[in-house]
Structure 1
Amino acid sequence: MKRLALVFCVLVVLAAVAGTGAFLWAEGQVQTAMAPPGAATVEFTVPKGTSGRGLGTLLASQGLIRDARIWRWHLYRRGSFAPKAGRHEVSPSMTVAELATALESNPIPEDIPFVVVEGWRLRDTDAALAAANLITPGAYIAAASKPGNFTAPFPLPVSGTLEGYLYPETYGVVPGKLDVNALIQRQLNAFAERFFLPNKDAITKSGRSLHEVVVMASMLEREEPVPDQRPLVAGILWKRVDKGFPLGVDATSRYELAQWNDRVAFLKRLRDPQDPYNTRHRKGLPPSPIGAPTVASLQAAMSPKASDYWYYLHDAERRLHPSRNAEEHEALRRKYNVY
């Protein structure tokens, strides 16, 4: 009996020691991060309706913790845990305890889509951002007027603005936290990814500078509603530039208007030969792009289609009618009542 009692006591002591060791090991794991300090942050999403215990498997699968059992142990020791559904910025440098605290904090605000429409001017984008309460009026224009604050794999304008280089598409923005400079840099990156980098060699072979291509593309975006017909229009316009004829692109006279469709102000500018954007009177390209062109317009400006045409107009249905000489052009004007 004495021997059995001794064995029992030894087993009890060993169990206690093992239990203490397991406890200390588990606590140590809770305080040990997967990565050393300074690891990059990542986004971790807490799905709606997921239990606190259920997050352990997700955290382990994304390399944020070693073992889901350690996560469950920590929650048991913690007593209460109320994660908030949504996206959270976390890091492998966080301990299990720090991760739990982070997932109870407010999630990252959800992005909302902001659409930069094809052909929009800086002032149009600025007005739309202000109307959506994303910026104070003028903030976007002010930022885009400082090209030196941004980087790109192509030459940015040395002076003036980034008009024409800020690619038009839908961008996710966070209400109340919009960084205007960051948005503009994203637009420049999109311009590089969508057009410049895939067409770098072709731009060089075109014989035109990137800036000339962008200026022409900005006019094509406004002039021709059908993308497939823009190379033909580009061919006509480049031919007029090269031969020293005025372009006659009325959209350029609208560029500096406060409201693009202000007809009274537009007609006044059409009669002003001193307006540098009046391409009815002045030869060559306008002083700057007149809006944000898409890839279709940029490619058309870079690769124009040769033809016998020197003129074109659009009828009331916006259908294109090119002509080979002034006589044909005037006949089409009368036919479609376009003046």
Structure 2
Amino acid sequence: MSKFHWDLTDYRRKKRKRNFFLSLFAVIVALAAVVFFYIYQSLQPVDKGNRTPVKVTIPQGSSAAKIGEILEKKGIIRNQQAFKYYIQWKGKTGFQAGTYYFAPSMSLDDIIRDLQKGNSYEFAKIVFTIPEGRQLREIAKTISKHSPYDYNTVWNRLNDRAFIQQLIKKYPDLLTKEILNPKVKYPLEGYLYPAVYAYYDPKTPLDTIIEDMIAKTDRVLSQYQKAMKVKHLTPHQLLTMASLIEEEATKKADRRKISSVFYNRLAKKMPLQTDPTVLYALNKHKSRVVYKDLKVNSPYNTYKYKGLPPGPISNSGISSLEAALNPEQTDYLYFLATPSGDVYYAKTLEEHNRLKQKFITNYYDAEKK
């Protein structure tokens, strides 16, 4: 074998060896980059734009692994294993049991700090709960009661057109020009999501509090974009329908059946004739609507005007939103709720009147005696 041939073979062997190691190095670098990116992502906040507090209870004696498991299930951290290794790497210990309010926007360091200091919800400076079925005035009173802002300040800000225009620009998928319809009583009615809100800073700006409630509604409705398209509903129409269901439903009521009644009446171009819209038009809370109430001249009076009212009459929870998107398939055109909370459905006016006589008229007649 010639020396030239041997040198060429050796060169090729070395080249293959070099290429192998280069390829191996490239694979290792790529894997390291993937692992690094995965770890980096796992340590990031779940949702930097979501400041809505979530109630999290850490039982006594919880290990770091258990705390990570709880936080991941609550949607506060991305990965419980990453949380566990991160606190080991940082040497963090001394986590305290308690009930906390954490937000998906919080960093791991902020969460760890609160757990170490025991900054549970008892130490939050502003904490309030907005239940389902609350109207804008009631929400304004709740915010005022639990924050440094008086009622008039809160109410005026909720109806400030310049502020509302800012919100429309920031949340265009949720807040549309529909809320500026002159027939709409209050533009933000129905848009402040029912949830718990907590703030450790006693000077949290009022705009931040209001925007957090709007942002929560925006996030919730974003989950139903496809369903809204199927039903041909805008966010405003969905919130309006859901508010009617929310106001009519009792604890015993099947919201999907109530929803079916509303949709069936709309399909037949019948007025919805739902009492809560009359009370909303009257600015009153009453246990019973009487005949003279039905004469109120308001676009919200669904006894006088067909179709949906101009806007929501309260806020709504998930169950009412989903009922508005997925009504039960029925032939019912009427329903009534009894004083005991039971709900009865009817396909004809005659049947409805019989139920009304049996469960409503007789009840109030007996009360008078």
TM score, norm. by length of structure 1: 0.62
Match of 1:317 in 2: 340
Unaligned stretches of 5+ in structure 1?
A: 1-60, 68-102, 104-108
Residues 25-78 of structure 1: CA distance to partner in whole angstroms, max 9, x if unpaired? xxxxxxxxxxxxxxxxxxxxxxxxxxxxxxxxxxxx88xxx99xxxxxxxxxxx
Counterpart mapping for 1:177-196 below 5 A? 177-193=203-219, 195-196=220-221
Cα separation, partners in 2 of 1:256 and 1:262, compared to 1, 3 Å: farther
Please say if residues 118 and 294 of structure 1, whose CA atoms lie closer than 8 Å, have aligned partners that are also in contact: yes
Larger Rg: 1
Q: Which residue of 2 aligns with 1:281?
A: 304
Q: Distance in 1 between matches of 2:221 and 2:339?
A: 35
Show the 5 A alignment for 1:226-305: 226=251, 229-261=254-286, 267=290, 270-305=293-328
In structure 1, the residue matched to 2:187 is 161
Distance 1:272 1:174 in 2: 48
Of 158, 161, 174, which residue of structure 2 is paired with 1:144? 158
The answer for the alignment partner of 2:239 in structure 1 is 214
Q: 1:200 to 1:130 in 2, by over 3 A?
A: same
Q: What is the one-letter code of the residue matched to 1:192? A: D
CA contact 1:114–1:173 (8 Å) conserved in 2: no
Percent of aligned positions that are identical:
26
Describe how 1:101-116 pairs up with structure 2 within 5 A.
110-116=124-130
**CA 1:135–1:256 in structure 2 vs 1: closer, same or farther (change >3 Å)?**
farther
Alignment of 1:20-39 (within 5 A): none
The one-letter amino acid of 1:148's match is Q
Alignment TM-score, normalising by the size of structure 2: 0.57
Matched residues in 1 for 2:301 and 2:268: separation?
Answer: 18
Query: Do structure 1's residue 328 and structure 2's residue 356 form an aligned pair?
Result: no
Stretches (4+) displaced over 4 A: 256-259, 266-269
Other structure's SS at 2:315 match: coil
Distance 2:284 2:147 in 1: 20
Cα distance in 2 between the residues matched to 1:276 and 1:269: 16
Q: In structure 2, what is the Cα distance between the partners aligned to 1:325 and 1:173?
A: 52
Distance of 1:315 and 1:239 partners within structure 2? 22
In structure 1, how many angstroms separate the alpha carbons of the residues matched to 2:154 and 2:290?
29
Deviation, structure 1 residue 332: 0.0
Q: Which has the higher helix share?
A: 2
- Matching of residues 28-67 of structure 1 within 5 Å: none
